[in-house]
Chain A
Amino acid sequence: MTGIRDKVGTKKSRLPHVSRRSLLVGATAAGGLALAWSFWPRHYAPNLTAAPDEHIFNAFLKIGDDGHIAVVVPQCEMGQGITTLLPQIIADELGADWRTIAVETAPISPLYTNTLLVDEDSATFMPRALVPDVVADVRSWVRREWAVRHAVMLTANSSSVRMFEGPCRDAAAQARTLLMMAAAKRWDADWQDCDTQDGFVTWKNRKLRFGDVAAVAATLDPPAEPVYRANNNDPLYGKELTRLDLPAKVDGSANFAGDIRLPDMVFAAIRQGPFGATRLKSIDRKAGMASPGLLDIVLHDRWIATVARNWWAANRALDRFAPQFETAGPPISSAGIDKALKAALKADGYRIAKKGDVAEAMEGRTKVSAHYAVAPALHAPIETRTATAAPDGERLRLWVATQAPAQCREAVARAVGLPPGKVTLFPMMAGGSFDACLDHSVAVQAAIIATQIKRPVQLAWSRAEEIMRDIPRAPARAKIYATLDAAGGIDALVARIAVPSTNHEFRARLFDGTPADVAQREAAGTPDAAAVEGAGGPYNFRHFAVDHCPADIGLPTARWRGNADSYTAFFTECFIDEMAARAGSDALSYRMAMLGQAPLLARCLLTATSLAGWEGGLSGTAQGLACHSMRGSHIALVATARPSDRGLQVEQIVAVVDAGRLVNPAIARQQIEGGLVFGLAAAVGATTDYDGGVATARKLGQLGLPRLSQVPQIVVEFIDSDRDPGGVGEIGVPVVAPAIANAMFAATGRRIRRIPLSPDPL
């Protein structure tokens, strides 16, 4: 391979400055990692493969002699459109014809590390308020270096465009420069006088196809710094280009992990029993083995898998084996979960964020308070967890949708006793995910089954299994209390939030391969800033504090579209609404008075209320407000909702979003619409009770997910902006429930303080 010269993602300037002294401080804090740092590899070559007529320019880009441009996308496509957005950024900077763009998924490589997410995560994992800056800097830096070494290619936290726009633009600029240099050589011109447009290098009145110069261009040395395309009269960036994945998604040809077909492949189903320290105790072997069509079974400490020539036959056999499980310790139940949350709320907790002095400000004053509760939230993607595994001599091939491919490969390799390099992972599109694909159990199980039966196997979880074994977003309880000034405005506010330490559990599962029940136990009681992210919202309170009260609920918890903001925004936005009503103030002006430090959000709020015809939130109007900022974006929502003979009826949702520059406004709109519908589902359902260690729901229809007839009119507007792109995947989710709850108060005069939305007392 020629033309491999890549510096993308290894820019030193973006690292925090580290002096020898701070490094030593860091060494103490981070456990002796300082010694090793200088030996860590700093540069990585792309590990792409190319067809004979294809030329590798860098980690993100190959160009063929025929003129096709293959863009390498390191993020999991789960509906968010990333396989269109990154190519669109690259095609724009390159000066390519959009019709020549092809997409392939990235191999596992440190070059694709999501350092932005690691940095943001570091900040919440160990908030700066709790450690000296110098320690925080070094810890973040060490974590970032560690993440690069381990190729932490996470797809999460609405970070895909925020993370990869820069590297993609740089990669395209570099390739463009090389193409111009190669063409200039042919013309005996100065490459700096050349330009690119529609897939051609141009100079004066001459032009050459990219494909004509790609072979030579890929062997040249680029300038040290990227040179960007200056004159772009018809930018692709910002256009509503049709998503590249749509044609395959309307004729059934888009392949998910369950659509892989291999010679000699068989189908497997699985049963895993309750959450907790569970082991498979017994099976009815005689009855099970007589099941028609059954080929094989695989028994594991914690589960039983059946294998047949079609999945239905395999799944049917599971019932006949009637597996019995045994779980150590008290079984998880909804009552137990709620008891643990209440106990945590009464205990001390950890102060995660503070401003001013709440204790002094509240001394001797009357406090106003409210309690809120939020049920666990299931991911419930329509694709149940599925993986295909094929043993191949000393190797294993694996097809699965994952938001962390390197960690998935490591987990699989560990489970079947192969070095990670012997496992080839083919990243598939996810049928929804919503962060479910950060869990790799299904890949590990498929690999174990395939290795044991020595043939290719496709494992799909049944829907019941998907509901029972989905690790949900955490349930939470909160007590918000405040003291008010003479006009009824908030002077001091404290948010105490009882919720498990999800981030710690998640890391132990993902990076250390810790079983979910062990990770849950080990994380219990630890402070977790990410678990209360977004609490307090964007408001400028004079005195303010957030406490995390870690709850040991027994049930493992996971990341989920919107994460902690999905409940903290509910607490804050409902409480603010209550305070506004108490002060006899309009919910809009009450909020505006506290948004002096958040002009972008304030503008969203004004635009949304004007668009929706805000009537002041008076009783009987059935309108409710909510607003929130996260991941560099801002959203304001006006919901119209009222009770009807069919229950809660949401009539309209008007959203105004400032997400900075939009790569593709049509895709951004899809994401906001989708987030709102996801938020609507979470407001009314997408949950289950737990009893005896398992979810009580077994069928999708029991989750109360909205169908077309239950979806209100949805209006989404974007604020024009040149800011760097913010995230759009999650921000639609957190505002829906509080806006509906506030609308229901306007309609009925009764407060709803619980998700799923219900006026039942807490």
Chain B
Amino acid sequence: MTKFSVNDRPVEYRMDPETPLLWALRDASNLTGTKYGCGTGDCGACTVDIDGEAIRSCLVTIAECEGRFVTTIEGLSRDRSHPVQQSWVAEQVPQCGFCQSGMIMTAAALLRKNSNPSDAEIDAAMTGICRCGTYPRMREAIRRAGRVIRGEERIAAAPPPGIRPDDAARAVPALRPADGN
């Protein structure tokens, strides 16, 4: 049985039940924000949220996901509004970006349980590998997202996707509104 929920939608995968969740998400659901980096749980680039836990999706089979709730980076928020996404941009964390979906999902799961983690708790949770060396910014980005979650701070760093040209033109004088004036 391979029926479960992905980003709040019910899904049944007609794949080998032993298929790791990662490949069902990527190759069957086209949820390509979750990345393959190693297949052995070392890098964490494939981390998704399963029932509130940050889990390496290369290490769980779709059979093991039966009945559970899976959230991927695409489902973390509809409009990049999750505090971790916002703080990640505000602190300019990503470089190549490849490992970042996994890092963000891990940080979000950590903060959901504990919005004010210590450095040791952050270190214990963030076990992924980033080769670009974005680590020095991650701790601060997590603390900052925590402040947002606790209502102590607001961030508007990453715009939502799909801004309509008219709305853009209203905010940016250099852009011509659709009526041409």
A residues apposed to B, CB below 8 Å: 65-68, 77-81, 96-97, 99-100, 198-200, 209-212, 242-243, 245-256, 258-259, 261, 267, 292-293, 309-313, 380-384, 429-434, 460, 462-463, 666-667, 670, 673-678, 680-681, 699-701, 705-709, 711, 714
- Selected from A96, A97, A431, the residue in CB contact (under 8 A) with B96 is A431
Pick the residue among A198, A310, A383, A680 that contacts B174 (CB under 8 A).
A198
Q: Separation in Å of the B57 CB from the closest CB of chain A? A: 11
Taking a contact as CB atoms under 8 Å apart, the answer to whether A310 and B28 are in contact is yes
**Docked-complex contact A97 and B174, CB < 8 angstroms:** yes
Q: Is the beta-carbon distance between B131 and A81 smaller than 8 angstroms?
A: no
- Do A251 and B76 touch across chains, with their CB atoms under 8 A apart? yes
Inter-chain contact B33/A381, CB cutoff 8 Å: no
B98 an interface residue at 8 Å Cβ cutoff?
yes
Q: Say if the beta carbon of B70 comes within 8 Å of chain A.
A: no
Interface of B is mostly: loop
- Given A429-B96, A675-B133, A253:B161 Cβ within 8 A: yes
Known: A249-B100, A250-B89. A382 touches B135 (CB 8 A): no
Give the shortest distance, in Å, between B58 (CB) and chain A (any CB).
Answer: 9
Closest to B30 in A: A261
Is there contact, CB below 8 Å, between A312 and B89?
Answer: no
Q: In whole Å, how far is A715's beta carbon from the nearest beta carbon of chain B?
A: 9
Chain B residues positioned under 8 Å from A209 (CB to CB): 173-176
Answer yes or no: B147 CB below 8 A from chain A CBs: no
User: A310 contacts B15, CB within 8 Å?
Assistant: yes
- B133–A247 contact, CB under 8 A? no
**Residue from B20, B85, B165 in contact with A250 in the complex, judged by beta carbons closer than 8 Å:** B85
Q: How far is the CB of B61 from chain A (nearest CB, A)?
A: 10
Q: Does B36 contact A (CB under 8 A)?
A: yes
- Provide the residues of chain B in CB contact with A709, threshold 8 Å: 123-124, 126-127
Say yes or no: is B134 at the interface (Cβ < 8 Å to chain A): yes
- Determine whether the beta carbon of A670 is less than 8 Å from that of B92: yes
Closest to B15 in A: A310
Contact, CB under 8 Å: A673 / B133 = yes
**CB < 8 Å: which of A247, A250, A254, A677 contacts B135?**
A677
**A200-B36 contact given A432-B96, A670-B95, CB 8 Å threshold:** no
B32 sits at the interface (CB 8 A): yes
The contact string, 1 if C-beta is below 8 Å from chain A, for chain B 75-115, is 01100100001001100101111111100100000000000
CB under 8 Å from chain A, chain B span 12-29:
15-16, 19-20, 22-24, 26-28
Closest residue on chain B to residue A312 by CB atoms: B23
* B2 interface residue (CB < 8 Å to A): no
B153 within 8 A of A: no
- Is A247 in contact with B174, judged by CB distance below 8 angstroms? no
Interchain CB contact under 8 A, B134 and A674: yes
Contacts of B130 in A (CB 8 A): 382, 677
Alpha-carbon separation in the docked complex, A707 to B43 (Å): 9
With A242-B92, A380-B131 already in contact, the answer to whether A252 and B157 are too (CB < 8 A) is no
Question: B133 contacts A676, CB within 8 Å?
Answer: yes
Assess whether B92 is in contact with A666, with CB atoms less than 8 Å apart.
Answer: yes
Q: Are A309 and B27 in contact (CB under 8 A)?
A: yes
Known: A79-B96, A247-B158, A312-B19. A463 touches B89 (CB 8 A): no
Given A252-B72, A431-B99, A699-B38; 15 other pairs, CB 8 A cutoff: A67-B169, A99-B168, A198-B173, A199-B175, A209-B173, A247-B89, A247-B161, A250-B88, A250-B89, A251-B77, A311-B27, A383-B98, A463-B40, A674-B132, A708-B128
The minimal Cβ–Cβ distance linking B84 to chain A, given in whole angstroms, is 8
Question: Could you say which residues of chain A place their CB within 8 Å of the CB of B20?
Answer: 312
